[in-house]
Amino acid sequence: MKTGKLGDLKIVRYGHPALREQASPVGRVTREVKALAARMIELMIEARGLGLAANQVGVPRRLAVVVIEDTPTVFIDPELEKAEGSEKAEEGCLSLPRLYGEVVRPRKVKVTARNLAGKRFTLEGEGLLARALCHELDHLEGRLFVDQVDESTLHWLLRTSDGEEPVVQPTALEDALKVFLLAREGEKHR
């Protein structure tokens, strides 16, 4: 697997083509796959996220990390085996920072994947964990939470300064996405 220099990897934002790609299977757990997972865990913790998919660091391969009971857990070639019920709750994404909105997700899911030792495992999750797993599995299909967000609940959560209450600012989806695309354009010309 070609990932370039791992130290250069960073979390990419809305507008990056990798976020819309369908990730291809990882297959064998090579040293490079392990290094990629380690770097993703680092980036996720740094960004205080609950999950991160490889697409979000510009590498469209089926690999995701999710924090489960305070422990970053690696999912290689994960598959959704079962989904039950539905639940609507707020969601955000490290690739669309400060944007939040409500998304309907299964209440309970069962996922199989392999760990870094190449061993297959099954995990059942409910509530927030089920939500995080579905969110990351979506990333691996090139899908984002904004694709299915209830637009009437979409808002920015803006922190003015430390210690102050964050400001909630409702936004239309189109306007919000434009903010990310303009920021991306700005970066290109810098």
- Enzyme catalytic residues: 136
For Zn ion, the closer of residues 29 and 96 by Cβ is 96
Backbone angles phi, psi at 108, to 5 degrees: -145, 135
Residue nearest to Zn ion (CB): 93
What would the two tokens of residue 69 be? 């009971």
Rank residues 29 and 133 by Cβ distance to Zn ion and give the closer one.
133
Q: Are 108 and 128 in contact (CB under 8 A)?
A: no
Per DSSP, 152 falls in state G
Q: How far is the CB of 93 from Zn ion (least distance, A)?
A: 3
Nearer to Zn ion, 15 or 29 (CB): 15
Instruction: Name the minimum Å distance from CB 145 to Zn ion.
Output: 6
172: amino acid identity, one letter: A
| Residue tagged 């303009």 (tokens) | 182
82 to 111: interface string for Zn ion, x by CB under 5 A: -----------x------------------
Whether 154 and 101 have beta carbons less than 8 Å apart is answered as: yes
Number of residues lying near Zn ion (CB under 5 A): 1
